[in-house]
């Protein structure tokens, strides 16, 4: 298996622009997580899907952030409009059984810079 695939790896955009990050989880995994990593706050959960259904989106910073998982093999994280404070590395991870009992497999991350 190719592992968790994220795109783009790097994104530089201007404030106010829409940003869409994409994730393909490992085939057969039923849990998908979006995390954000910054120097100040470390890794934080943004949203968690189980069987394509959002279970916990309490980590989504505000309405500018939205995430979808239309099917078991694809998820998007959208920021509209983007702001400089959104600059971070965004990781997608998938798991067979969820964060409690399933090993997490991370993508390479998408480094976002908002100017």
Partner 1 sequence: KNEVEQSPQNLTAQEGEFITINCSYSVGISALHWLQQHPGGGIVSLFMLSSGKKKHGRLIATINIQEKHSSLHITASHPRDSAVYICACCQIGPNYGGSQGNLIFGKGTKLSVKP
Residues contributing to the site for partner 1 (CB under 8 A): 31, 33, 42-45, 48, 50, 55-56, 59, 89, 91, 93, 97-106, 108-109, 111
Q: Tell me how far, at minimum, the Cβ of 75 lies from partner 1, in Å.
A: 17
Q: Tell me how far, at minimum, the Cβ of 78 lies from partner 1, in Å.
A: 21
**Rounded to 5 degrees, what are φ and ψ at 86?**
-80, -5
C-beta of residue 60 within 8 angstroms of C-beta of residue 49 = no
Q: Tell me how far, at minimum, the Cβ of 81 lies from partner 1, in Å.
A: 26
**Rounded to 5 degrees, what are φ and ψ at 85?**
-70, -5
Q: Is 98 left (phi over 0), alpha (psi -120 to 50) or beta?
A: left
User: In the complex with partner 1, which residue's Cβ is closer, 50 or 73?
Assistant: 50
């Amino acid at each position: 298996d190719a592992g968790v695939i994220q795109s783009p790896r790097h994104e530089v955009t201007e404030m106010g622009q829409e940003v869409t990050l994409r994730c393909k989880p490992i085939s057969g995994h039923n849990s998908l997580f979006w995390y954000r990593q910054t120097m100040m706050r470390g890794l934080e959960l943004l949203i968690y899907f189980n069987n394509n259904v959002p279970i916990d989106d309490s980590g989504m910073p505000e309405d500018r952030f939205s995430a979808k998982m239309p099917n078991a093999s694809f998820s998007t994280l959208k920021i509209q409009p983007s702001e400089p404070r959104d600059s971070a590395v965004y990781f997608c991870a998938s798991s067979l059984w969820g964060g409690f009992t399933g090993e997490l497999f991370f993508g390479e991350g998408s480094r976002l810079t908002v100017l």
